[in-house]
C-alpha cells in the first residue's frame, strides 16, 4: 500500500478489528469507568447485542455496522483504560 499518512505521526493509534481499520482519537473516546475490570464488564452488553444482530436473519447491514461500531468503541475504551492505568501512550 503506497498511501501517505493523513495525520501527524503518533497522533492516532491504528486499531484493526474484523478487517475494519479504526482510529482512536484520545479526545473522542474516553473510558467512563473507574477501573479496568468495570470497563471490561461494561462492553459485554455491546458484544452480546452485536452477536444477536449478526445471528438474526432479518438484521440489515446498517444494523450490523451500527452494532459493530458500538462494540468496537467499548473495546477501545478498555484499551485506553489499560493504557491510562499503566501511564503509557496508546
Alpha-carbon distance values, 9 to 12, 71, 82 (Å): 8, 27, 22
pLDDT at 26: 53
Segment 18-58, tens digit of pLDDT: 444 445 555 577 888 899 999 999 999 999 999 999 999 99
Inter-helix orientation angle 61-86/44-55, to 10°: 160
Residue with the bigger pLDDT between 42 and 15: it is 42
| Contact between 81 and 41 (Cβ < 8 Å) | no
| Contact between 43 and 78 (Cβ < 8 Å) | yes
pLDDT at 19: 40
pTM of the model: 0.67
Alpha helices in 10-60 (DSSP H): 36-42, 44-55
pLDDT at 10: 45
pLDDT at 90: 79
Amino acid at each position: 500500500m503506497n498511501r501517505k499518512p493523513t495525520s501527524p505521526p503518533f497522533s492516532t493509534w491504528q486499531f484493526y478489528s474484523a478487517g475494519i481499520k479504526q482510529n482512536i482519537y484520545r479526545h473522542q473516546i474516553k473510558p467512563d469507568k473507574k477501573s479496568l475490570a468495570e470497563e471490561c464488564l461494561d462492553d459485554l452488553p455491546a458484544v452480546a447485542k452485536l452477536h444477536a444482530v449478526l445471528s438474526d436473519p432479518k438484521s440489515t447491514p446498517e444494523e450490523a455496522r451500527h452494532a459493530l461500531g458500538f462494540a468496537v468503541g467499548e473495546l477501545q475504551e478498555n484499551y485506553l483504560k489499560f493504557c491510562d492505568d499503566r501511564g503509557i501512550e496508546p
